[in-house]
Amino acid sequence: MKKPIVFIGIDVSKATLDICRVEGSQKQHEQIPNTNKAIAKYLLGLEPSQAIIAMENTGRYNWALYDVLAKQEFEVHVVAPLHLKKS
């Protein structure tokens, strides 16, 4: 049986990542530190082929997140903050 797709939206700030995870009709919110170690721990058990991740472009504050996601081959969409504000 194929696992359902997991949609993850991430609000990036200097110190933390606010994560909204939607899987089917289930939604959950978490906040984790914006560090490589915390990000890698959060992603444990999440299959890259079954997840779609979107995050805002905040300049240097999203570098750690993008670095970890790209190394693990997740599908990542980086969205301009102005686009998010207007949508």
pLDDT in tens, 28-60: 999 999 999 999 999 998 999 999 999 988 888
- The DSSP bridge pattern shows strands 51-56 and 26-33 to be unpaired
CATH number for position 72? 3.30.420.40
Fill in the amino acid letter for 52.
I
80, part of any domain: yes
Per-residue pLDDT tens digits for 7-26: 999 999 999 999 999 998 99
- Considering the domain boundaries, does residue 1 fall inside one? no
Q: Are strands 16-23 and 75-79 parallel, antiparallel or unpaired?
A: unpaired
31 belongs to a structural domain: yes
pLDDT at residue 3 in the model: 67
* Structural domain count, the chain: 1
Residue 52 lies in a domain: yes
Structural domain of 54: 6-86
CA dihedral (69, 71, 72, 73) positive or negative: positive
